[in-house]
Amino acid sequence: MSDTATPMLAQYLELKAEAGDALLFYRMGDFYELFFADAAAAAATLGITLTRRGRYRGEDVPMCGVPVHAAQAYLARLIRAGHRVAVAEQTEDAATARRAGRPVARAIVRVASAATLTEEELLDATAANWLMCVIVAGERAGAAWVDVSTGRFLTAAVDRVDEAALRARVAPAELIGPDSAPGVTSVPGARFDIAGARARLELLFGVATVDTLGAFEDVELRAAGGLLAYLEHGARGHPPRLDPPERVVATHEMAIDAATRASLDLGRGGLLGRIDRTRTAGGARLLADDLAAPLVDLQALQARHDAVGWFVTLPRLRARVRDALRAVPDVARALGRLGAGRGQPRDLAAIGTGLAQADAIAAMLADGSDAPQSLAATLAGLTLERALAAAIVHALALADDRAAAGVATLDEGGFIAPGYDPALDVLRRSGSGARATIAGLETRYREASGVAGLRIRHNGVLGWHIDAPARAETALRGAGFVHRQTLSGQVRFGSDELTALATQIAEAANAALALERAHFERLCAMVLESARAVGAVAGALARIDVTAALAELAAGERWVRPDMDVGTTFAIEGARHPVVEAALATAHKPFVANDCDLTDRPLWLVTGPNMGGKSTFLRQTALIAILAQMGSFVPARAARLGIVDRLFSRVGASDDLAQGRSTFMVEMIETATILRQATPRSLVILDELGRGTSTYDGLAIAWAVLEWIHDRIGCRCLFATHYHELTRLARRLDGVHLATLRAREWKGELLFLHEVAAGAADRSYGLAVARLAGVPPPVIARAKAILARLEAGRPMVQIEGELPLFGPAAQAEPLPPDMTGQTLIEALRDIDPDALSPRDAHALVRTLVGRIHAE
């Protein structure tokens, strides 16, 4: 490179302008090279060396590169770091370009980002990989999201206030929109016009009008159009295969906002990981989707419970089906790769194997007696593509479990079964025969030349050649061989016979590879023609997997079927927290189950000590509601539940410093959301509301919120608090029930019983918990003294004046005359004599003497 742009640099700059903010992988032979700022960013992310290549406009040009054969791993690391990557490939033979005296033609063939990946090694098999587009118009928000790896396509239109909750429900790997915002990839606004959106959808799905696909609002059509435009831009002529859009109706799902999802830990590290017993990748993704969007339709819920219950009663059949599911590949993602033009023979093999296994599982289930009606459609979906399965199995010889069918690539060949195509077999025999002839030729050449070390070998540079020790060079030249290369200790020759055989091998291999590619393309076309049906089989397999897995969970963990209705019933006997119970079981500790009945008195005011189990009790109630409405059995002895339309959980402390929000501000925003959006059919979980501000402010807020929920909303609610003053509300609010987590002090130790009982706690045991946590004894003693004065009604200003912090005078000051002997004992209990200095001990004695004289 020079100070002016060389032809190659000019080509690079043109492609980089097209790539925009994406890093540009510029193919140069066996490497993808990056230049300028792209090189600096990639080198920093990948930890590779940043070098220089020439100069441009008076400055050195930064450069780094990654080998093509290892590009996938580097691509994954860049995308995980938040980059988008444009891949520019060579589109012509380098020799052709050299003869023409110009750079090799290159073009961007793909723009890869977090949500446009299809490669198996770059994706989490157990999680959907959503690309989501959201736009807001007035008081409505439209959304469209697609999993490119499977082709699933969904849309929704919601009120503007519910837009954040919808994003939390989807949890996209990549979010795009018309506006630039943190975490959002900006897309030009022109791509969101309604006319363009309709045109893109009609063209993609081959319909005369988008209305054929469903009744969509303009705002969600615009979101869908922007999403498709983004995919078209990145796919560069090879758009992914997508299913027709499926409209999600918000009122058909339990609404759960982002804060609630976070506080309840619904992801794979929490509840999802606890309940996942699936055997297939598709099943794991469907289970996560069910958990993210619990149902509110009673009939649909009962259908799922019927299916789980059926599997619970048939343990042997369940075991057989689950064993068969182990052999099911990821059919949906294999189909996605074929549809995107990135498929390999292993993807065809996965589809063939999956379809064949689906047929076998259908036969197993047909043997089951009295299968519920809810399974009928699922079972029918398993046998949709028997002919296609047979065609693929025959072509790839999957029935013989040939490893080559699973690992061979399009570039290598060898994936079509012997006997499938006689012409291919002839070509393979021709190549094999030539190789056998070469073996015989080697023996003849060795005998004729007398060179015992003579070998005929092959490499990527010389092709087939004669290899011998260097000392044999004279003998081989005299035998009429053509010299090709001399190395240290070795010499290499060619011959007319060997050249002819090499040509025969190469021609046969090329012809065989072309024939195998033709078979591959034909089989791919067959699969894509039946893509909807193949996708339905994949969906049916996933649903069977989820249902059998939930039954396995229920049977193994003593979970019960919830009795659901459309009212506001909410009665759970022997409820358990599924995650905490599992953690305790690992430590061989029992979980204390508790009852919760919100039916008649729907607002429970829960008191009790810190560490006593209030948060666990609150969370387990919310988790049981979610499990029931996703179609699972629940961890309880019995459960009668009215369907919850919205679930809110305000548990724990968090801040949002990036938005300038303190912990208390976040708490109030979440509380405001609950008070504005909860309905009489909602379930609300509130823990320690108002603790982020002054005592009186917090108490006032908690009091007013409690009254609002009781008087205005009337929903089912668990309200945990340390403000014992709130318990007085039970005297005048009929819907309030007092409950407490029991604890007991025994020989100076605090014992948590984790039992929920009627009534209110007599105190918070805060100092006892502080002692358990290891707070230094002098601090505990000081706190007890202050607490005694506060409980005696002494003003705070007076107390601060009387008790200098931790000084000897604080110990020497006479204790108030109204202290009882028991109070005095409590004040002395945590004093460690060995920790007292002589001066502190003397001051303490003076204090005690002063107390005696005061009496």
Q: What does R_g of the chain's alpha carbons equal in angstroms?
A: 36
Contact call for residues 43 and 65 (beta carbons, < 8 A): no
pLDDT in tens, 711-757: 999 999 999 998 888 999 999 999 999 999 988 877 667 788 889 99
Of residues 326 and 378, which shows the higher confidence score?
Answer: 326
pLDDT of 840: 62
Contact call for residues 371 and 365 (beta carbons, < 8 A): yes
pLDDT band at 766 (very low <50, low <70, confident <90, very high): confident
Closest C-alpha to 230, from 215, 244, 214, 242: 242
pLDDT of 406: 55
Q: Is a pLDDT exceeding 90 seen at residue 842? A: no
CA distance 426 to 410: 20
Output the 3-class SS for 799-847: HHHHCCCCCHHHHHCCCCCCCCHHHHHHHHHCCCHHHCCHHHHHHHHHH
pLDDT of 174: 95
> What value, to the nearest 5°, has the Cα angle with vertex 592 and ends 587 and 593?
130
Which of 237-241, 257-261, 559-563 is predicted least confidently?
Answer: 237-241
Interval 380-384 mean pLDDT? 83
Contact call for residues 408 and 345 (beta carbons, < 8 A): yes
Of residues 331 and 852, which shows the higher confidence score?
Answer: 331
Closest C-alpha to 311, from 546, 537, 538: 546
Average pLDDT score, the chain: 88
Of residues 809 and 702, which shows the higher confidence score?
Answer: 702
Q: Is a pLDDT exceeding 90 seen at residue 305? A: yes
pLDDT in tens, 411-468: 888 899 999 999 999 998 888 888 888 889 999 999 888 888 999 998 878 889 999 9
Q: Which amino acid is at 740?
A: T
Contact call for residues 385 and 351 (beta carbons, < 8 A): no
pLDDT of 330: 97
pLDDT in tens, 147-176: 999 999 999 999 999 999 999 999 999 999
Q: Who contacts 597 (Cβ-Cβ below 8 Å, separation ≥6)?
A: 570, 571, 572
Interval 64-87 mean pLDDT? 93
pLDDT in tens, 190-246: 889 999 999 999 999 999 999 999 999 999 999 999 999 999 988 887 889 999 999
pLDDT of 101: 84
CA distance 678 to 690: 19
Widest distance between CA atoms in the chain: 128
Q: Which amino acid is at 65?
A: G
pLDDT band at 187 (very low <50, low <70, confident <90, very high): confident
pLDDT of 403: 44
| Domains in the chain: ranges and CATH | 7-112 (3.40.1170.10), 123-252 (3.30.420.110), 297-412+530-557 (1.10.1420.10), 422-519 (1.10.1420.10), 563-758 (3.40.50.300), 776-854 (no CATH)
Q: Which amino acid is at 517?
A: R
CA distance 533 to 529: 9
CA distance 645 to 210: 31
Closest C-alpha to 632, from 372, 143, 277, 392: 277
Interval 477-502 mean pLDDT? 89
pLDDT in tens, 526-545: 999 999 999 999 999 999 99
Interval 353-381 mean pLDDT? 87
CA distance 16 to 36: 10
pLDDT band at 4 (very low <50, low <70, confident <90, very high): confident
Q: Which two tokens stand for residue 368?
A: 């089951």
pLDDT of 807: 43
Q: Is a pLDDT exceeding 80 seen at residue 564? A: yes
pLDDT band at 376 (very low <50, low <70, confident <90, very high): confident
CA distance 622 to 577: 10
Q: Is a pLDDT exceeding 50 seen at residue 281? A: yes
Share of the chain above pLDDT 70, in %: 89
